[in-house]
């Protein structure tokens, strides 16, 4: 240990955090306390690079990619971070001075319950790639309190239990109350029907560092994954509903981010899921606007400096909400001009070719919960269908009382792609052939390399 200054320094930091955070000396610390203290010691180095990455973006003001996904499956952060920082062997040697092995310490971490399949894994891989390529980007998602579920078998029967990945402190997240955003629901009706009173939900930001694999030793960049949560904001609790005995309604907004994909086999589940998807869109777009305008940007420069990638149809409400925010910032902006800007910045990745799996929402439910956004969807639909070539049912955004999210994204996006060449071909030729005929330039196939096409040439 004496011959290696890096080992000595890390060991001292580990002991310091054990004392400051837990009041423990090393021989008496638990494996979890050692894990937490080790992560805090490593964060000192990570924060230096994270701040440097953010400062470089502010200095050079490049075009930024904002990636919206309902799911992420990053796996354990700690082992990944050790590899990318290049200190896994060093940490293993340091831990030889403790009662615990590296594997025992790493085993403390529970994988983040932020996704359940390929969509989330792809999103996490893209963020890793962006960080490794030193691209200016931010990922947006939701901080699910319980993820989807843990599976247990009781007497040969599957039982779903909560995925309690946040049972203990997560050392890799940073709560950002200063970035909290308010998301509005209800409060109006474009058809003149009575509507429920407007409600405002506070979404708190939690930031995670996504570390890129370095091209040179100790030259790693960091991309931010920003997740929104309603769980930790007491403001979201409806006391009047609680006092009226409506206990479910009282806690609905507080529990919006409890579970990934609440069951939509009943009306309550459908309502919560729609509110959840809009929460991601609204909070993220507000943050994008905050970031753009804080850099001296304007509506005029928005199309040049911003790119938004939508991962599947879940964040599809980004189209009307982005148009609404643009027209709010620039009241003289027409619907057509707002749509042109939205189309220039938004791209859509399709993940399914099954018609029954493409998201559709009941028009009345969308109008009830999101009247301002529905009004713009209706205007966009009506504007498009004035042209005869858009009047076929296969092209319509609104059809048989349903809002078709894929069609909304297809009409409102700059590029559309699948997740493989075969998939992209099927999307273009079999799933949406009539829309592809209208917009042949939109449909393409891309993999990790497409980030360089979407973004400017600037890196960190």
Residues 197 and 337 grouped into a single domain: yes
Residues 46 and 69 in one domain: no
Residues 119 and 20 in one domain: no
Check whether residue 130 and residue 265 sit in a common domain. Answer: yes
Q: Which domain holds residue 41?
A: 1-60+79-110
Residue-wise pLDDT for 252-294, tens only, equals 888 899 999 888 788 888 999 999 999 999 999 999 999 999 9
Query: Are residues 141 and 34 part of one domain?
Result: no
- Any domain includes 213: yes
- The answer on 357 and 441 residing in a single domain is yes
**Same domain for 137 and 53:** no
283 and 337 co-located in one domain = yes
The answer to whether residue 458 scores a pLDDT higher than 60 is no
Whether residues 54 and 66 share a domain: the answer is no
CATH of the domain at 254: 3.40.50.2000
Structurally, the chain folds into a number of domains equal to 2
Q: Is 460 part of a structural domain of the chain?
A: no
Do 19 and 126 reside in the same domain of the chain? no
Q: Are 105 and 59 in contact (CB under 8 A)?
A: no
In this structure, the answer to whether residues 328 and 424 fall within a common structural domain is yes
Half-sphere exposure of 424 (CA within 13 A, CB side): 16
* Separation of alpha carbons 221 and 52, rounded Å: 8
In a domain, 178, yes or no: yes
In this structure, is residue 459 part of a structural domain?
no
Q: What is the pLDDT of residues 85-113, one digit of tens each?
A: 999 999 999 999 999 999 999 999 999 99
228 belongs to a structural domain: yes
**Separation CA 350–CA 343 (nearest Å):** 16
DSSP assignments along 56-112, one per residue: HHHHH---EEEEE-S------HHHHHHHHHT-HHHHHHHHTTSSS-HHHHHTTPPPP
One domain, residues 196 and 285? yes
Q: How far apart are CA 345 and CA 429, in angstroms?
A: 24
Confidence of residue 452 (pLDDT cuts 50, 70, 90): very low
Cα 133 to chain centroid distance, Å, stands at: 20
Residue 347 lies in a domain: yes
Q: Is the per-residue pLDDT at 2 higher than 60?
A: no
In a domain, 129, yes or no: yes
Domain annotation covers residue 248 = yes
- DSSP calls for 136-161: -EEEEEE--SS-S-EEEEETTEEEEE
Rounded distance between C-alpha atoms, residue 375 and residue 381, angstroms: 10
């Amino acid at each position: 240990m004496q011959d290696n200054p890096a080992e000595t320094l890390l060991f001292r930091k580990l002991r310091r955090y054990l004392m400051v955070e837990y009041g423990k000396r090393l021989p008496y610390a638990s494996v979890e306390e050692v894990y937490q203290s080790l992560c805090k010691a490593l964060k000192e180095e990570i924060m230096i690079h994270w701040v440097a990455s953010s400062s470089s973006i502010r200095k050079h003001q490049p075009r930024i990619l904002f990636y919206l996904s309902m799911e992420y499956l990053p796996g354990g952060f700690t082992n990944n971070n050790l590899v990318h920082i290049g200190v896994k062997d060093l940490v293993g040697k340091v831990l030889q001075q403790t009662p615990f092995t590296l594997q025992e310490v790493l085993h403390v971490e529970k994988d983040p319950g932020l996704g359940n399949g390929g969509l989330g894994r792809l999103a996490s891989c893209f963020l890793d790639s962006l960080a490794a390529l030193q691209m200016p980007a931010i990922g947006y998602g939701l901080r699910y309190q319980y993820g989807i579920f843990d599976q247990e078998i009781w007497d040969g029967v599957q039982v779903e239990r909560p995925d309690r990945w946040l049972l203990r402190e997560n050392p890799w997240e940073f709560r950002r109350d200063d970035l909290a955003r308010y998301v509005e629901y209800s409060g109006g009706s474009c058809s003149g029907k009575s509507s429920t009173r407007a409600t405002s939900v506070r979404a708190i930001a939690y930031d995670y560092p996504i570390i890129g694999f370095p091209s040179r030793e100790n030259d790693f960049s960091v991309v931010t994954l920003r997740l929104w949560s309603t769980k930790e904001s007491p403001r979201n609790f409806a006391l009047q509903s609680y006092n009226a005995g409506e206990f479910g309604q009282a806690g609905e907004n507080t529990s919006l981010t409890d579970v990934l994909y609440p069951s939509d086999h009943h009306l309550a589940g459908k309502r919560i899921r729609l509110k959840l998807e809009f929460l991601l869109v609204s909070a993220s777009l507000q943050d994008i606007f905050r970031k753009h305008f804080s850099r001296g940007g304007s509506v005029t420069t928005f199309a040049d400096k911003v790119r938004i990638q939508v991962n599947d149809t879940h964040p599809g409400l980004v189209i009307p909400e982005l148009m609404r925010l643009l027209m709010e910032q620039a009241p003289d902006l027409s619907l057509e001009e707002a749509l042109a800007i939205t189309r220039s910045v938004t791209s859509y990745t399709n993940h399914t070719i099954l018609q029954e799996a493409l998201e559709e929402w009941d028009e009345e439910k969308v109008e009830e919960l999101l009247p301002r956004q529905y009004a713009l969807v209706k205007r966009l639909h009506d504007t498009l269908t004035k042209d005869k070539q858009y009047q076929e049912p296969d092209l319509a955004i609104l059809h048989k009382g349903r809002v078709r999210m894929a069609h909304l994204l297809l009409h409102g996006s700059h590029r559309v792609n699948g997740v493989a060449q075969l998939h992209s071909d099927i999307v273009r030729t079999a799933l949406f052939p009539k829309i592809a005929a209208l917009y042949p330039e939109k449909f393409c196939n891309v993999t990790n390399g497409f980030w360089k096409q979407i973004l400017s040439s600037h890196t960190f």
